[in-house]
Amino acid sequence: MARNWTPDSWKGFSAAQQPDWPDTADLDRVLKEISGMPPLVFAGEARKLRASLGQVAAGNAFLLQAGDCAESFDEFSAVNIREKLRVILQMAVVLTYSMGVPVVKVGRIAGQFAKPRSSPFEKIGAEEIPSFRGHIVNDSAQNLDARRPDPARLLTAYNQSASTLNLLRAFTKGGFADLSRVHSWTQEFVGSSPEGQRYESIAAEIERALLFMRACGIDVESNPNLHEVDVYTSHEALLLGYEQALTREDSLTGDWYDCSAHMLWIGERTRDLNGAHVEFLRGVGNPIGCKVGPTTSPEYLLELCAKLNPAQQPGRLTLISRMGADTVEDSLRPLLKAVKASGHPVVWACDPMHGNTITSTTGRKTRRFEDVLREIAGFVKAHHAEGTWPGGIHIELTGENVTECLGGADALSDTDLDHRYETMCDPRLNARQSLDLAFRVAELMRD
């Protein structure tokens, strides 16, 4: 257990990116209410994920972390959750089948609401209004009223997370994720595409393999591994009051866990070694992540590892690099070398999204599918050069047929972006682009 740590010890440090709540008494009331509510996940589940990530750190498994940039209160529906899960399952099947190693599935889901901003204010004409910080804080509409932080939103976020997780648990344990249904995860608009066809042939092979095993006398029916799947939840631990309110002492071990999600990460903007976010996360037993951008120095990174994982527990710490396609190889190699030499058993994951955000000719925030791929290729290359394991990918995606990222198999262009640009925050890969990406990643990992 971390020394000199309590769930509220972060309050003695400076916390970046916290909303300016207009009424702190109201905030305190809501946080107190949340701290009396049931945990969303359990310590034992977080420990199981940590063990699985330990396998990734050792080079025996691969991490697929994927989901929305920011979940929305408005787009909350069973269909939306199911479609996102479908894509994640499809990607996981492709990666598992092609790489021949277990794939650890972690969603950016059931709690991924809060967004860090480059500026606390946004200028609308002559007026300055607070920036949009995600639906857990305020609304995205461009007026003062909508942008006023409202603590009642913390409760809505808790409740939406609970029902999202409930549905995920039902889908992943109740038949939907059964390997015998591998064909049924293809959405209509994906089925006829080249990547959809490619998926169909893997699905057919898996079905044949299941028949083969059954024919060999293996009891396929009673083996839960084939019928169920673990999909864990994760989000950026940004609003520390909310995270603290869901932090509970595990009765089994006496350790503290942040029970708002299985895995939490610290963003590029809040990873100050002497800041409140690092202080908070160092004391919870969950597997945690930290985004690592191109300005990160080896010295900083080693201090971070020492602070967040002093016991050098495998699977405890995932470093999520987000360098940009052009610089990833050069920026990453010294970091890989330093961490390897220190003996810290980290998971290295590649976020190929956040270092590759551009503005289209039509003024849309977007990303090129080719840049996303190039960053992953550079990431894999850097690991091969340093003799380390490219442990996984961290992707922003949606199950819908949106047009937010450029390129991919259906070659979306600048002008296509207007067709279905629905994100509240960053541009996400659509279902076809995501599936395509899984095939390409599998190829990169095989080469």
User: Which spans of this chain sit near ligand TRP (rule: CB under 6 A)?
Assistant: 89, 92-93, 96, 102, 177, 179, 225-226, 228-229
| Closer Cβ to Mn ion, 69 or 320, answer by number | 69
CA dihedral for 239, 35, 283, 62, sign (positive or negative): negative
| Closer Cβ to ligand TRP, 43 or 103, answer by number | 103
Residues 51-70: x where in contact with Mn ion by CB under 5 A, - otherwise, as a string? ------------------x-
For the record, the structure tokens of 72 come out as 């929305």
Q: Which does 426 bind (CB under 5 to 8 A by kind): ligand TRP, Mn ion, none?
A: Mn ion
Only one of the segments 52-60, 227-235, 405-413, 419-427 lies at the binding site for Mn ion (rule: CB under 5 A); that segment is 419-427
Q: Which does 96 bind (CB under 5 to 8 A by kind): Mn ion, ligand TRP, none?
A: ligand TRP
Name the minimum Å distance from CB 151 to ligand TRP: 38
Q: Does 426 bind Mn ion (CB under 5 A)?
A: yes
| Closer Cβ to Mn ion, 371 or 426, answer by number | 426
Q: Which does 301 bind (CB under 5 to 8 A by kind): ligand TRP, Mn ion, none?
A: none
Sequence-distant (6+) residues with CB within 8 A of 219 are none
Q: What is the DSSP letter of 193?
A: S
Only one of the segments 249-257, 297-305, 380-388, 425-433 lies at the binding site for Mn ion (rule: CB under 5 A); that segment is 425-433
**Residue 170 to residues 166, 195, 256, Cα–Cα distance (Å):** 6, 28, 27
Judge contact between 429 and 195, C-beta under 8 A. Answer: no
| Closer Cβ to ligand TRP, 27 or 89, answer by number | 89
Name the minimum Å distance from CB 111 to ligand TRP: 22
**Residue 163 to residues 115, 159, 173, 270, 437, Cα–Cα distance (Å):** 21, 6, 15, 28, 29
| Closer Cβ to ligand TRP, 16 or 226, answer by number | 226
Helix (H) or strand (E) holding 365: strand 365-366
- State the Cα–Cα distance between residues 417 and 121, nearest whole angstrom: 27
Name the minimum Å distance from CB 231 to ligand TRP: 9
Q: Which does 93 bind (CB under 5 to 8 A by kind): ligand TRP, Mn ion, none?
A: ligand TRP
Helix crossing, 328-342 with 298-308: angle to 10°?
A: 50
Residue with tokens 């939907």: 176
How many C-beta atoms surround the C-beta of residue 334 within 10 A?
15
For the record, the structure tokens of 259 come out as 């029970």
- State the Cα–Cα distance between residues 85 and 79, nearest whole angstrom: 10
Q: Helix or strand or coil: residue 395?
A: strand
| Closer Cβ to ligand TRP, 35 or 180, answer by number | 180
Name the minimum Å distance from CB 263 to ligand TRP: 16
Name the minimum Å distance from CB 86 to ligand TRP: 10
- State the Cα–Cα distance between residues 331 and 179, nearest whole angstrom: 39
| Closer Cβ to ligand TRP, 30 or 206, answer by number | 206
Q: Which does 69 bind (CB under 5 to 8 A by kind): Mn ion, ligand TRP, none?
A: Mn ion
Q: Helix or strand or coil: residue 169?
A: helix
Q: Which residues bind Mn ion (CB under 5 A)?
A: 69, 426
